[in-house]
Amino acid sequence: MPSPRALLIMLAIILLIVSPFVVFFLPLIYILTFFDTPEQIVAHPNTKNYIYAFSACAIIIVAIILAAIRQNKSMIALSVTLGLAGCALFFTSIFGYTYIGTVELPPLSRSYECA
Give the model confidence (pLDDT) of 28-43 as tens digits: 888 888 777 777 777 7
For residue 83, tell me if it sits in a domain. yes
> Tell me, what's the pLDDT at 86?
94
Measured from the Cβ of residue 45, the count of other Cβ atoms closer than 10 Å reads 20
In which domain, by residue range, is 91 found?
4-101
Average pLDDT of the chain?
Answer: 83
- Would you say residue 109 lies in a domain? no
Q: Is the separation of the CB atoms in 39 and 102 below 8 Å?
A: yes
pLDDT digits (tens, 9 = 90+) for 79-91: 999 999 999 998 8
C-alpha to C-alpha distance for 15 and 87, rounded to whole angstroms? 14
Cα–Cα distance, 88 to 90 (Å, whole number) = 5
In a domain, 114, yes or no: no
Report helix angle 47-69 to 73-92, nearest 10. Answer: 170
> Is 73 within the bounds of a domain?
yes
Assigned domain for 113 exists? no
Confidence at 114, pLDDT banded by 50, 70, 90: low
Q: How many domains does the chain have?
A: 1
Residue 111 lies in a domain: no
Q: Could you tell me how many helices (H) and strands (E) the chain has, helices first?
A: 3, 2
